[in-house]
Amino acid sequence: MKKTQVTRREWLQSSVLVAAGSLVAPKSMWGQTSSPIATTTSGKVRGFIQDGVNVFKGIPYGGDTAKRRFMPAEKPTPWTGVRDALTFGPQAPQPIHTRSGHSSFSPLDEVNPVNSEDCLHLNVWTAGLRDGRKRPVMVYIHGGAYSSSSSNGPVYDGIRLVKRGDVVVVTMNHRLNLFGYMYLAKLGGAEFAESGNVGQLDLVLMLKWVRDNIAEFGGDPSRVLIFGQSGGGAKCATLMAMPAANGLFHRVITMSGQQLTARTQEHATESTEAVLAAIGLSHANIQDIRDPEKVPMEKLVATIRAGKYFGPVLDDQVLPRDPFSPDAPALSANIPMILGNVHDETRFLIGSGDASLFSLSWEELPTRLEKYRSFLGDLKTADIIADYRKWYPAYSASDVFFAVTTAFRSWHGMVIESDRHAAQHGPTWAYNFAWKSPVDGGKWGAPHTMDIPFAFDNVKIAASMTGGGADAQRVADQVSNTFIAFARTGDPNNKAIPHWPRYELEHRPTMIWDSVSRIEDDPRGEERKLIEQAPYIQPGT
């Protein structure tokens, strides 16, 4: 009997055997153990070979952040000898729950769900070392908003991308939630000036590592793509407005993740006050929060929820402007960018926590939609429902609920961000992922996170999500080839897809990823015109 509810972690989770396979001593084509060694700026690392690909896991790109709490991280302390890089490093501090718990924090997709402030590690997959090939570099930034998850999951494995397109794949962990985004400057003074964005500065430090080391792994530091899904996409958008990140990446893909505005200093300080109260720490003793002996990591983890939301802060230093408001950042105007969403975002974002949403009556629908009033603006719920019933007469009440919440809550920000980047004449392409999962009788449609295994060409690894069938693989062939082409040239066009025109405001050409992928001008145009009548408020800010 199939489950009716799954968590984000279960949705991304795949076979434990696949994950465990990366820990088995690899063999070369001659049947002998092979241990590739690479030299980084901090010391030598030993990886392994899997399916003909050099794999390095858990390479430090920064030092232990327990020694630099709420401050920018520093480079790792150099080591002597050869350091093993065979397993994923720890994840950023966050609540950990067992599989039976259905918390959004439950890290069921992670191979090594171990909390540590020493979490600044990255992973590299490459076909060659020191061979001068200058391969494009695909740097993936994980989702989980700014508060949870990690890159330690089989769905993010880079082997198939490397074998498909001869690219270098990099994934990493960095500081999250209050460890990465708690703004202490107004209460603690200059020492904490950058505290609200140290999680973003971790990503800058990681990109500097890529710049300084990736040639050793056969990569081209002048062709770095950053891409991310959900919170990972939002982190990418935020990096586009950060002077410290300028020049460290050269293409961007955001997948169901936008960041129009950052938190105000006032709003962020309110979260900090709530955390301090939960800890029982006075303003007079605020410096104690940096000392792991006086305030242990576990005590901070226990108070994360007191702050409610953590994310980048408009601090006038690390982040001197909102990422995409009132326009796209001039700093990144010339960077080629792909932006996309999935067709049924909230079937998983909201529906995974409430099975009753899949069997709504028309009488229940207005009340359920009213819970999302902040996204609907002044539009009348009855009028919205009437429009959707006119446009989609075959939709059930539940179909309308998910369509409306997807459009107003999730799709709206992507439309605005696409429009603003295109308005700068920056190279822009837009997509909508419409291929529907056959899992659980098709109830999920094309939900939040669905495009991840297709981008990584890991639809079989993620069979619990994709079904793992031939149709899914055909779509993955197209999506992964396109992401690789974009990393290589800054243009997504390749032989696997129909010609994909740049996004512009007159026709709004959009790639529709499906069993037969196609270009549509202004898809769901009536919905787009409707959501434009409501102000968009960045969640959490």
The CATH number covering residue 25 comes to 3.40.50.1820
Residue 136: cis peptide before it, omega within 30 degrees of 0: no
240 domain residue, yes or no? yes
b (16+ CB within 10 A) / e for 445-481: bbbbbbbbbbbbbbbbbbbbbbbbeeebeebbbbbbb
pLDDT at 20 over 50: no
The pLDDT of residue 12 is 52
pLDDT tens figures, 211-256: 999 999 999 999 999 999 999 999 999 999 999 999 999 999 999 9
Q: d(Cα 3, Cα 440) in Å, to the nearest integer?
A: 7
197 domain residue, yes or no? yes
| Residue with tokens 């171990």, as numbered in its chain | 114
Active-site residue identified among 14, 149, 230, 325: 230
HSE at residue 262, side-chain half, CA atoms within 13 A, is 30
Output the DSSP codes for 438-457: -GGGGTT-S-TTTHHHHHTT
Output 25 or 191, whichever has higher pLDDT.
191
| Residue 170 β-bridge partners | 124, 139
The pLDDT of residue 241 is 98
Output 96 or 72, whichever has higher pLDDT.
72
346 domain residue, yes or no? no
pLDDT at 528 over 50: yes
Q: Which tokens in the block code for residue 335?
A: 């960077």
Q: Which tokens in the block code for residue 39?
A: 């030299």
By residue range, what is the domain housing residue 31? 8-339
509 domain residue, yes or no? no
One-letter amino acid for residue 151 of the chain: S
Q: Over pLDDT 70: what percentage of the chain? A: 91
100 domain residue, yes or no? yes
26 domain residue, yes or no? yes
b (16+ CB within 10 A) / e for 130-154: eeeeebbbbbbbbbbbbbbbbbbbb
Judge whether 116 counts as a catalytic residue. Answer: no
pLDDT at 446 over 70: yes
- Summary mean pLDDT of the chain: 92
Q: How many domains does the chain have?
A: 1
pLDDT at 468 over 70: yes
Report the predicted TM-score, pTM, of the whole model to 2 decimal places. Answer: 0.93
| Residue with tokens 């909201």, as numbered in its chain | 350
Q: What is the mean pLDDT of residues 30-38?
A: 68
pLDDT tens figures, 411-429: 999 999 999 999 999 999 9
Q: d(Cα 129, Cα 42) in Å, to the nearest integer?
A: 17
User: Among 265, 264, 289, which residue's Cα sits nearest to residue 277?
Assistant: 289
Output the DSSP codes for 485-532: HHHHHS----TTS---PPP-TTT-EEEEESSS-EEEESTTHHHHHHHT
386 domain residue, yes or no? no
Q: What is the mean pLDDT of residues 127-133?
A: 95
275 domain residue, yes or no? yes
The pLDDT of residue 110 is 52
The pLDDT of residue 96 is 76
